[in-house]
Structures are given as C-alpha cells and as structure tokens.
Structure 1
C-alpha cells in the first residue's frame, strides 16, 4: 500500500464522524453502498485515478462495478442509494451520500475528485461538499 494512500479504517472513521453514525458497522455499510453506487458512474481514467487514491478496499468496491450507459443525475443517484439501504428515504440517502462523498476531497485530494466531478452530470459537486465545479480552458 502506498504511504500516502489512506486506509479503509481512515475512510470509515471519517464517514462515521461526518455522518455522526453511532457505530463503525453502520458507517462501513453506508460507505460500501455509496462507493458501489459511485462505481456505477465513473469510467476511464477518472475511475483509475480515483481507485488509485482510495484505500485498497474502497478501490475494489468501485472497480467491481460495471458502469451504467448513462450516469444518473445527482437526484437519481441519491434515489438509487436509497433503494440499496433498507428503510432509507430520499432525505436519509442524501445524508448517507454526502457523509461518504464529502470526506473524499480531504482524504484523497481535490484532483481525483475534481476529475470525477468533471465526468458526472451537474449537481454532484454539492454531494462532495463542494461548490459546483466550473472548468476553465
């Protein structure tokens, strides 16, 4: 494992703190579900770059997914996560998604996250705790 690559424990603890989850197990489950859903949307070099920056276990979750033909809108993404978590509503799913994605910029750096955001439809930046990404030529 690379010295600057965060550990799975680092990621789950950051999610647990951000989402104020009572247990590590709950934070771990939410992290797995959200990263799995993200893996459905990220392709190409952005997928490889994100996987290289993430903890190995998280990278495997993303890499194991087959990307969809068309990425979902941010709202559809939240709904897809809600469908994967028993008892989740759109509001709780948004909390889960934001709890996981918002820790990624600090944990893995802005560059891999910005590259992923550039690939996704408008609206995802807020889920990552960022203002909407604006690329300049």
Structure 2
C-alpha cells in the first residue's frame, strides 16, 4: 500500500472532506501510537504500513507509562488542538480501524494485548472478557 492510499482509506473511514484533514489526523494518531507500541509488534506493524507511516511510528520514543484508551484519545486531541472529544474519538477509531485492517487480526490482537484494556475498541475490534 502507498501513503496516498492509506490517506484515502482514512478519509473514507473517517468521512473527512479533504485528504489534508485525513492526513493530519492520521499523522497525529500514528505519532501517539508509536510511543505505545514497542518491540516485535512495532517492527511487524511498520512492515504492514507504507514507508511514511512506518517512519512516523519508528521515530517515537517509547513512553514510560502506557496511556489508558481515554488518555490516548485525549493525547491525540491535544496534538490536533481543535477537536472536540467526540471528534478525537472518531478520528482515533477511523485511523486505528484502518491500521488494524492493514495489520490483520493476529497482529492487531498482539498489539491490543500489550496495551491497557479499552484499546481493542479503538482498533474496531471486540474486547472480550476472559471467562470466569
């Protein structure tokens, strides 16, 4: 997949009116995500994405403490500056849903297993509770 194709997928998923708007949200989400995915999962994800997206992920310094899913959305909103919380949640879900499709189910499960509860929903996946 090429960078412009990824932007188009985010534009369609997020129902953005311009490529520039979709790219802006894509870059913000990838920047925050890059600090929270490390190791083999980060390397595997960078291989699934266009070079430009892989570079955004790989440039990020790993976070000392993982963000909760709501904190992740807030961090993206903070990077974008002008989004309401619902708009930020929509943008995060739009981007991470496309990323999950690129990564496939196995890698997406591995990534969400490393992150705090709540991220599976951001990736557009069900988060099942373990059987008691």
TM norm structure 2? 0.93
Provide the rounded CA distance (Å) in 2 between the counterparts of 1:61 and 1:133: 30
Unmatched tracts of structure 1, length 5 or more: 1-5
Once structures 1 and 2 are overlaid, which stretch shifts more, 126-135 or 25-34? 126-135
13, 23, 32: which one pairs with 1:28? Answer: 23
Q: How does 1:36-75 map to 2 (within 5 A)?
A: 36-75=31-70
3, 7, 11: which one pairs with 2:2? Answer: 7
Runs of 4+ that moved beyond 6 A: none
Q: What is the CA-CA distance between 1:46 and the residue it aligns to?
A: 0.8
Unmatched tracts of structure 2, length 5 or more: none
Q: What is the CA-CA distance between 1:133 and the residue it aligns to?
A: 5.6
Q: Please give the secondary structure, in 2, of the residue aligned with 1:96.
A: helix
Provide the rounded CA distance (Å) in 1 between the counterparts of 2:110 and 2:49: 14
Provide the rounded CA distance (Å) in 2 between the counterparts of 1:108 and 1:126: 15
Q: What is the CA-CA distance between 1:8 and the residue it aligns to?
A: 1.1
Deviations 1:77-103 (A, max 9, x none): 001111111211211110110010011
TM norm structure 1? 0.90
Structure 1 residue 119 corresponds to structure 2 residue 114: yes
Provide the rounded CA distance (Å) in 1 between the counterparts of 2:33 and 2:128: 17
How many aligned positions are there? 131
Match of 1:92 in 2: 87
